[in-house]
C-alpha cells in the first residue's frame, strides 16, 4: 500500500508559555478521599487502577478524608509543618547567599517540601535514601545539622565533602543520605542494589530512591525497575513529577501519553499516584510502600504529582519558558499552606503560633548561617587545603598522585 | 601444585573469596546455573547457592549500578560482563559513579566492586566480541585496571582485585583462557598444562595490584605488553633473536612506573604492544611516560605495535591482530636504529 499522506512528527508543547494565562481547569483532579486503599499485602495488580488515579487525603476545607488518611496525631503533624517551614526558610536563606556571591549555585525545593519531609517521617531513620538534588527536606526532617549542610553549600573549611561537590550535592552515610550525583537517574538502580544488599544480609533497613519526571527517560530508570522487580528488592522508587525538567515540560518524558506511575504496570510492580502537595497523602503512600518492602513483598513505584514552584536552580530563569504566575495557579496549592490549614481546621494551630514558628526558625537559620559563614564561604574562604583534592581518589594514594600533589606545592 | 588453565584459575579465585568472605557475591548474565558462557563460574552456584551466585537481567548498566549500590552498603560484588564489547552501556555507572563515589562522598560511601570482562580478539568474534576497551577506563580517575597473562597471575590478581577497596576493571584475555597463544594462528594452541605458569596453588594467594612482572630479562630492548600480547612478545623475541626484556604490566592503573623506567634506562629502547586500536590507546600513555622519564637514555624512538584503527574485522583478524611477525619487525627496527 502506498502511503498518500506525508508523515509528520509530534513535538510536545506545554499548554502555556510566557504571556499566556495558565488555566488548569481541565485537569482531572479526583476528590480527596476517593481513591481506594488496597491492603499492603495486596497483589501488585490490585494497585493498578491507582496508577491513573490520584491519592489525596486533604480536601479543600483542610479536612483529612478517606481510606488513605494516616491519622497522624497533631504533634506529628506539627513536626511535619515545622520541618517544611524550616526547609523553605533554609532554601530562602541559601538562595540569597548565592545571590550575595557566597556560593556558586543553589537549588530550592519550593512547592515540593511535603515530599522530602513527609517521606523522611514515614521512613525509619535507619533506612537509606538515594535522593535527587531537591530532597533537602530528607536531611532536615532527620534533624541533620543545618550548619553542616551550609558548610557544604559554602565549600568552606568544614565542608565534609572537602570542596569537591557542587553545592546541594550533600552526602552523609550517618544521615542515611546517599551521595548525590549530577548524572541524572544513576542513583535509582544503585538504590535497588543497596536494597538487594540489605536483603542479602538479612538486615531490617530498606532503601528509598527519588528521580525527576524528566530523568525517567534515562536508561537507569528502566534498569532500576527491572532489577527491583526481578529480585523483589525492598526499595521504594519515587518519581517526583514536578512538571518541569529545567525548561522541558514533562511531555518530553512521555507524560502526555500516560502517567508516570503507570510505568509500574509493565514491570509488574505496584504503583501509586499521589498528590505530592498533600503531606498526609505522601506520608500514607510512603508508609504503605515501606510496609510492603519490610514484609518482603518487594518494591513500589510512587509518582508524586507536584509542581516546581521556583526556578530549576539559581542558573535558571523560568519566566523565559513558562508563565510567571503558573505556580500560583497550580490547582493543588502549596503544601505548607495546606498542612497549616489542616492543623488550623483541627483546632491545633493558630496564626499566632504559625508566625511565632516562622520567626523562631528564621532566627535559628540565621544563627546557623552565621556559624557556617564563620568557617568560610566559596567567595571569601577559608576552604580546606587544596592538597586534599588528591585524597580519596583511591583508598591508598598511588605514587602518581603523590607526585602530582607535590607538583602543586600545596 | 595442580595445573590450571586461566578459566580454572579465575574460578578458583572466586571460589576462595566466596568461601572466605560472606560479603562477596557473584552475578551477571548467565553466570549462575549455567556457569557463564566461558564457564568461569561453573559450579559456584551449586556450591554457594543461588543467593550468592546468580543470573542477572541482560542490562550491563543495571548490573554495574546494582553492584555500586551493594558496594555502598558494604558488600564486595564481583560482576561479569559477558564480553568487554558489551560494557559500554555500563560506562556511565563505571566512570561517573563507581569511580567517583569515594571521592565525592569524601570516603563516606565506596564502591569496592570487581568487574570481570573477557576482552580481545583472536577467536573470530567479529567486531562485537573482540574489542579491547582498557584505555577508556585507564583514563578515569578512581578506577583500577588489571589484565593478567597467565593462570597463576589471573588467580592472584583476581583475589587482590576482589579484596581491593576500590572499583577494579578486570579484563580477561579470552584468547589465552585455554593456552598461551603466541600469535602463530596457523600453529595449534599449546594448552596451559604444558606451561610453568599453569602451576597454580589450590589455596589463597595474591599478586599485589600495581606491580609489573619482568617475564623475560634482556638487554637490547624493553617490550611493554599485557594480556595475550605478553605471549606474542615472547614469541617475537624468540623469532627475531633480539635480546628483548619483556615486561608484563599486569596492572595498567596504577602503573608500575619504576619497573618500566629501570628497564628502559638499561636497554635504551622500547617497544609497546597492545591489541587495541592505536589512536588514543594505552600505548600512547606508555610511550609518553617512557619519553618523560627516559628521554636521555633512549637510543631509538619508542615504537608501538597495535591493532589497526578500524573496528575488528571478522574475516581478517589475523591481519588485524598484532602478531609476532609485526612485533619482531619492530624489535629489529628498534635495535638497528
Chain B: residue nearest A233 by CA?
B66
Test mutation, A222, A225, A392, chain B, max B CBs within 10 A: A392
Asked if B70 and A193 come within 8 Å (Cβ–Cβ), the reply is: yes
Q: Which residues contact B98 (CB under 8 A, 6 or more apart)?
A: B64, B67, B68, B71, B111, B113, B142, B143, B167
Stretches where chain A sits below pLDDT 70 are none
Q: Does B66 touch chain A (CB under 8 A)?
A: yes
Whether B129 is a known active-site residue: answer yes
Q: Which of A158, A192, A149 is nearest to A375 (CA)?
A: A158
CB contact burial B123-139 (16+ within 10 A = b; e otherwise): eebeeebbbbbbbbbbe
Count of beta carbons in the 10 Å neighbourhood of residue A167: 26
Q: Does B61 touch chain A (CB under 8 A)?
A: yes
Asked if A227 and B96 come within 8 Å (Cβ–Cβ), the reply is: no
Test mutation, A178, A190, A384, chain B, max B CBs within 10 A: A190
CB-CB neighbors (< 8 A) of A395 in chain B: 102, 110, 164-166
Give the separation between CA A33 and CA A51, rounded to whole angstroms.
Answer: 16
Give the separation between CA B335 and CA A217, rounded to whole angstroms.
Answer: 57
Give the separation between CA A41 and CA A38, rounded to whole angstroms.
Answer: 8
CATH homologous superfamily, domain A44-246+257-314+324-379: Thiamin diphosphate (ThDP)-binding fold, Pyr/PP domains (3.40.50.970)
CB-CB neighbors (< 8 A) of A230 in chain B: 57
A160–chain B nearest CA distance, Å: 7
Are the C-beta atoms of A60 and A338 separated by less than 8 Å? no
Q: What is the pLDDT of residue A1?
A: 82
Q: Does B32 touch chain A (CB under 8 A)?
A: no
Query: What rounded mean pLDDT belongs to chain B?
Result: 97
Q: What is the pLDDT of residue A236?
A: 99
Task: Enumerate the domain spans of chain A.
Answer: 44-246+257-314+324-379, 386-410
Give the separation between CA A148 and CA A154, rounded to whole angstroms.
Answer: 10
Chain B: residue nearest A179 by CA?
B105
Chain B: residue nearest A229 by CA?
B57
Whether B139 is a known active-site residue: answer no
Q: What is the pLDDT of residue B337?
A: 84
User: Quick check: pTM over 0.90?
Assistant: yes
Catalytic residue among B29, B80, B97, B129: B129
Count of beta carbons in the 10 Å neighbourhood of residue A391: 18
DSSP states along B240-258? H---EEEEE--EEETT-HH
Asked if A190 and B141 come within 8 Å (Cβ–Cβ), the reply is: no
CB-CB neighbors (< 8 A) of A165 in chain B: 104
B185–chain A nearest CA distance, Å: 38
- pLDDT tens for B176-195 read 999 999 999 888 888 999 99
B207–chain A nearest CA distance, Å: 17
DSSP A9: -
Q: Is B291 exposed, middle or buried, given 0-12, 13-18 or 19+ CB atoms closer than 10 A?
A: middle
Give percent of chain B above pLDDT 70: 100
Measured CA distances, A83 to A88, A89, A137, A355, B330 (Å): 9, 10, 7, 15, 70
Asked if A162 and B106 come within 8 Å (Cβ–Cβ), the reply is: yes
- pLDDT tens for A147-157 read 999 999 999 99
- pLDDT tens for B210-228 read 999 999 999 999 999 999 9
Asked if A183 and B56 come within 8 Å (Cβ–Cβ), the reply is: no
Q: Is B105 exposed, middle or buried, given 0-12, 13-18 or 19+ CB atoms closer than 10 A?
A: buried
CB-CB neighbors (< 8 A) of A229 in chain B: none
Name every residue in A having a CB less than 8 A away from some CB of B: 128, 130, 160-162, 164-165, 169, 171-173, 178-179, 181, 183, 186, 188-198, 200-201, 207, 219-220, 223-224, 226-227, 230, 391-395, 398-400
* Band (B324; pLDDT cuts 50, 70, 90): very high
DSSP A237: E
- pLDDT tens for B64-91 read 999 999 999 999 999 999 999 999 999 9
- To which H or E segment does residue B274 belong? strand B270-277
- pLDDT tens for B91-133 read 999 999 999 999 999 999 999 999 999 999 988 999 999 999 9
Q: What is the pLDDT of residue A3?
A: 87
Of B59, B72, B144, the CB nearest to A223: B59
Amino acid at each position: 500500500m502506498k502511503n498518500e499522506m506525508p508523515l509528520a512528527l509530534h513535538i510536545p508543547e506545554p499548554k502555556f508559555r510566557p504571556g499566556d494565562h495558565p488555566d488548569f481547569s481541565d485537569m482531572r483532579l479526583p476528590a480527596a478521599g476517593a481513591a481506594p486503599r488496597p491492603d499492603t499485602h495486596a497483589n501488585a495488580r490490585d494497585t493498578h487502577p491507582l496508577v491513573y488515579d490520584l491519592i489525596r487525603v486533604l480536601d479543600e476545607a483542610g479536612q483529612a478524608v478517606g481510606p488513605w488518611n494516616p491519622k497522624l496525631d497533631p504533634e506529628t503533624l506539627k513536626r511535619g509543618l515545622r520541618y517544611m517551614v524550616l526547609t523553605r526558610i533554609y532554601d530562602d536563606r541559601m538562595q540569597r547567599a548565592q545571590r550575595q556571591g557566597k556560593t556558586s549555585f543553589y537549588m530550592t525545593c519550593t512547592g515540593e517540601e511535603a515530599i522530602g519531609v513527609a517521606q523522611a517521617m514515614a521512613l525509619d531513620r535507619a533506612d537509606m535514601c538515594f535522593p535527587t538534588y531537591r530532597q533537602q527536606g530528607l536531611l532536615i526532617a532527620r534533624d541533620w545539622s543545618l550548619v553542616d549542610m551550609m558548610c557544604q553549600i559554602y565549600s568552606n573549611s568544614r565542608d565534609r565533602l572537602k570542596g569537591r561537590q557542587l553545592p546541594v550535592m550533600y552526602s552523609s552515610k550517618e544521615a542515611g543520605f546517599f551521595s548525590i550525583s549530577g548524572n541524572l537517574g544513576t542513583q535509582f538502580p544503585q538504590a535497588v542494589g543497596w536494597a538487594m544488599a540489605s536483603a542479602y544480609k538479612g538486615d531490617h533497613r530498606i532503601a528509598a530512591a527519588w528521580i525527576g519526571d524528566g530523568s525517567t527517560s534515562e536508561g537507569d530508570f528502566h534498569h532500576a525497575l527491572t532489577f527491583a522487580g526481578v529480585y523483589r528488592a525492598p526499595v521504594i522508587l519515587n518519581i517526583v513529577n514536578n512538571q518541569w525538567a529545567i525548561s522541558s515540560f514533562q511531555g518530553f518524558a512521555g507524560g502526555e501519553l500516560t502517567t508516570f506511575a503507570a510505568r509500574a504496570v509493565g514491570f509488574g510492580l505496584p504503583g501509586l499516584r499521589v498528590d505530592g502537595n498533600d503531606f498526609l497523602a505522601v506520608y500514607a503512600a510512603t508508609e504503605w510502600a515501606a510496609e510492603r518492602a519490610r514484609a518482603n513483598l518487594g518494591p513500589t513505584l510512587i509518582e508524586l504529582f507536584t509542581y516546581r514552584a521556583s526556578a530549576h536552580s539559581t542558573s535558571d530563569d523560568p519566566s523565559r519558558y513558562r508563565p510567571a504566575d503558573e505556580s500560583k495557579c497550580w490547582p493543588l496549592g502549596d503544601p505548607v499552606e495546606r498542612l497549616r490549614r489542616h492543623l488550623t481546621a483541627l483546632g491545633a494551630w493558630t496564626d499566632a503560633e504559625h508566625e511565632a514558628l516562622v520567626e523562631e526558625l528564621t532566627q535559628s537559620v540565621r544563627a546557623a548561617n552565621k556559624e557556617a559563614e564563620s568557617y568560610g564561604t566559596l567567595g571569601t574562604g577559608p576552604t580546606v587545603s587544596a592538597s586534599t583534592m588528591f585524597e580519596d581518589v583511591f583508598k591508598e594514594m598511588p605514587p602518581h598522585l603523590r607526585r602530582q600533589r607535590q607538583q602543586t606545592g600545596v | 601444585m595442580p595445573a590450571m588453565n586461566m578459566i580454572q584459575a579465575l574460578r578458583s579465585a572466586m571460589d576462595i573469596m566466596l568461601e572466605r568472605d560472606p560479603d562477596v557475591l557473584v552475578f551477571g548474565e548467565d553466570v549462575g546455573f549455567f556457569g557463564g558462557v566461558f564457564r568461569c563460574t561453573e559450579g559456584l552456584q551449586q556450591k554457594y547457592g543461588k543467593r550468592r551466585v546468580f543470573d542477572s537481567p541482560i542490562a550491563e548498566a543495571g548490573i554495574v549500578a546494582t553492584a555500586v549500590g551493594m558496594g555502598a552498603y558494604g558488600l564486595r560484588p564481583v560482576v561479569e560482563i559477558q564480553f568487554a564489547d558489551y560494557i559500554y552501556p555500563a560506562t556511565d555507572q563505571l566512570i561517573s559513579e563507581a569511580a567517583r563515589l569515594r571521592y565525592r562522598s569524601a570516603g563516606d560511601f565506596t564502591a569496592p566492586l570487581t568487574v570481570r570482562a573477557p576482552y580481545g580478539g583472536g577467536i573470530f568474534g567479529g567486531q562485537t566480541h573482540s574489542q579491547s576497551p582498557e584505555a577508556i577506563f585507564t583514563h578515569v580517575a578512581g578506577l583500577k585496571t588489571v589484565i593478567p597473562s597467565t593462570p597463576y597471575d589471573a588467580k592472584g590478581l583476581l583475589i587482590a582485585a576482589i579484596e581491593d577497596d576500590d572499583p577494579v576493571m578486570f579484563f580477561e584475555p579470552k584468547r589465552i583462557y585455554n593456552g598461551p597463544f603466541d600469535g602463530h594462528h596457523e600453529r595449534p594452541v599449546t594448552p596451559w598444562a604444558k606451561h610453568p605458569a599453569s602451576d597454580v596453588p589450590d589455596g589463597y594467594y595474591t599478586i599485589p595490584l600495581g606491580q609489573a612482572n619482568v617475564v623475560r630479562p634482556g638487554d637490547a630492548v624493553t617490550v611493554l605488553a599485557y594480556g595475550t600480547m605478553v605471549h606474542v612478545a615472547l614469541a617475537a623475541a624468540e623469532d627475531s633473536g633480539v635480546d628483548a626484556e619483556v615486561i608484563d604490566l599486569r596492572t595498567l592503573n596504577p602503573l608500575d612506573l619504576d619497573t618500566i623506567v629501570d628497564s628502559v634506562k638499561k636497554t635504551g629502547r622500547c617497544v609497546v604492544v597492545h591489541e587495541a586500536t592505536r589512536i588514543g590507546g594505552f600505548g600512547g600513555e606508555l610511550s609518553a611516560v617512557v619519553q618523560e622519564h627516559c628521554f636521555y637514555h633512549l637510543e631509538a624512538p619508542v615504537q608501538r605495535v597495535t591493532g589497526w584503527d578500524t573496528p575488528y574485522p571478522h574475516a581478517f583478524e589475523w591481519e588485524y591482530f598484532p602478531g609476532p611477525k609485526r612485533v619482531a619487525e619492530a624489535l629489529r627496527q628498534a635495535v638497528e636504529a
